[in-house]
Amino acid sequence: MRNKLTGKCLLAYVAGIMDGEGSVTISKAHSKKTRIGYQFVMYVTVRNTNEWLIHWLYFNFGGNVGMSNDNGHKRFGSKPIWYWQATSRVAMKFLKSILPYLQMKREQAEVAIQFQERKAHRGTTGNKRLRSNDEWAWQEAQHILIQSRNKGKVEE
């Protein structure tokens, strides 16, 4: 008989997957909805050669699934690389659920959650997002901060 992961055990297991195989980023994305032609978007991605694992993440947490044969680093041999990706609110909900169990990606998750929470509280007018220069500067700073943490270059 197989044991099923539930509750805290499940979230701790997923946090381990995220710590080992995942990434948390804030990226610039081209957008015609903004006055400067781009916006910042928060992404959570897990890459793995195990298709079942990637689809399991999708069915449990939402987001999107894809596959790539491009393994430029030859890290995974000749197997296709599957990925699960969540953005914005879905990614924030996912990170909040596993945050207590994250170890390696905890700082990135905290920055990303703060970024998405602040972004979610801005007002809108139609499709145009109202942002001050200060807001753009703050988002750019969060983008740079998470990049540096992903590279291990932030000293406390």
According to the model, what pLDDT value does residue 126 have? 39
115 CB-contact burial (10 Å; exposed 0-12 / middle 13-18 / buried 19+): buried
Give every residue of the chain whose pLDDT is below 50, as ranges.
1-2, 123-128, 154-156
According to the model, what pLDDT value does residue 125 have? 40
Question: Other C-beta atoms within 10 Å of 137: how many?
Answer: 11
Q: Which residues contact 73 (CB under 8 A, 6 or more apart)?
A: none
**Within a domain: 63:** yes
If one counts the domains in the chain, the total is: 1
Supply the pTM of this predicted model.
0.76
**Within a domain: 44:** yes
Residue type at 137 in one-letter notation? A
**Within a domain: 33:** yes
**Within a domain: 156:** no
CATH value at residue 63: 3.10.28.10
Q: Which residues contact 7 (CB under 8 A, 6 or more apart)?
A: none
According to the model, what pLDDT value does residue 129 have? 53
How far is 40 from 43, CA to CA, in rounded Å? Answer: 10
Closest by Cα among 114, 125, 101, 133 to 36:
133
56 CB-contact burial (10 Å; exposed 0-12 / middle 13-18 / buried 19+): middle
**Within a domain: 2:** no
Contact criterion met (CB below 8 Å) for 14 and 57 = yes
For the record, the structure tokens of 49 come out as 């050669």
**Within a domain: 37:** yes
Residue with tokens 């430029």: 72
Contact criterion met (CB below 8 Å) for 131 and 138 = no
> Residue 39 sits in which domain range?
7-150
What pLDDT, in 10s, does the model give residues 17-31?
Answer: 999 999 999 887 766
**Within a domain: 72:** yes
**Within a domain: 121:** yes
Specify the 3-state DSSP secondary structure of 141: helix
How far is 75 from 71, CA to CA, in rounded Å? Answer: 7
